[in-house]
Amino acid sequence: MLNIVIFGAPGSGKGTQSELIIKEYGLDHISTGDVLRAEMKNETELGKIAKDYIEKGQLVPDDLIVNMLAKVLDSKANSKGVIFDGFPRTIPQAKALKAMLNERGTDVSVMLNLQVDEDELVKRLLERGKVSGRSDDNLETIKSRLEVYHKQTAPLADYYVGEGKHVAIQGMGTIEEIFGRIKKAIDAVNK
């Protein structure tokens, strides 16, 4: 299986690039943010708990996310591969993902780390906020999301360096330029 972790700060283009990767390589997509937003819309127990964290720009606790991910992963059992978007966001989540994939006889193939300047991230998120309807795309929440990213999520890059899976991708430029860089990185592991 071709399992890709797409990684980067909020606004780094993970969702946009995931769509292009899916089209090109025929992969399944798991975005934990999308799953949580669906749970919120359906007013499930998980959705109600997640709402408070999401609206403050904080991370939803690891145990809830890992249980949720395991269920979604089982629904993709016959897949050619999965692109993980917005997950893992902490070291415990990364270890849980490795264990879940190993149990299923597979592993992460590559981690693509999209690098985007901080000013550009804020600009993109505010632009998205005008059309997304997302309750967390406002300046105050964007600031806490970026802080949470730097403190809790960015250190994961080193974890994947240690696993020999980390590839830095220059995430500034046009969508096509960035996708070109991503394709090269994927083709290097997908032989």
Compute CA distances 82 → 14, 62, 73, 74, 135, whole Å.
14, 20, 9, 12, 27
Pick the binder of ligand AMP from 124, 145, 166, 181 (CB under 6 A): 145
Using CB under 6 A as the binding rule, whether residue 146 contacts ligand AMP is answered as no
Question: Alpha-carbon dihedral of residues 27, 40, 127, 181, nearest 10 degrees?
Answer: -20
Using CB under 6 A as the binding rule, whether residue 59 contacts ligand AMP is answered as yes
Using CB under 6 A as the binding rule, whether residue 53 contacts ligand AMP is answered as yes
Q: Is 181 a catalytic residue?
A: no
- x/- binding map, residues 123-142, to ligand AMP, per CB under 6 A? -------------x------
Using CB under 6 A as the binding rule, whether residue 86 contacts ligand AMP is answered as yes
Q: Is 104 a catalytic residue?
A: no
Pick the binder of ligand AMP from 2, 54, 108, 114 (CB under 6 A): 54
Closest to 157 in 3D by CA, of 107, 103, 115, 97: 115
Residue 55 phi, psi dihedral angles, 5° rounding: -70, -20
CB of 10 vs ligand AMP, minimal distance in Å = 5
Q: Is 124 a catalytic residue?
A: no
Residue nearest to ligand AMP (CB): 33
Contact yes or no for 7/156 (Cβ under 8 A):
yes
Give the β-pairing of 4-8 and 110-115: parallel
Using CB under 6 A as the binding rule, whether residue 36 contacts ligand AMP is answered as yes
Using CB under 6 A as the binding rule, whether residue 8 contacts ligand AMP is answered as no
Q: What kind and span of H or E run contains 68?
A: helix 62-74
Other beta carbons within 10 angstroms of residue 167's beta carbon come to 18
User: Which active-site residues does the annotation give?
Assistant: 14, 89, 128, 134, 145
Residue numbers of the site for ligand AMP (CB under 6 A)? 10, 32-33, 36, 53-54, 57-60, 65, 86-87, 89, 93, 136, 145
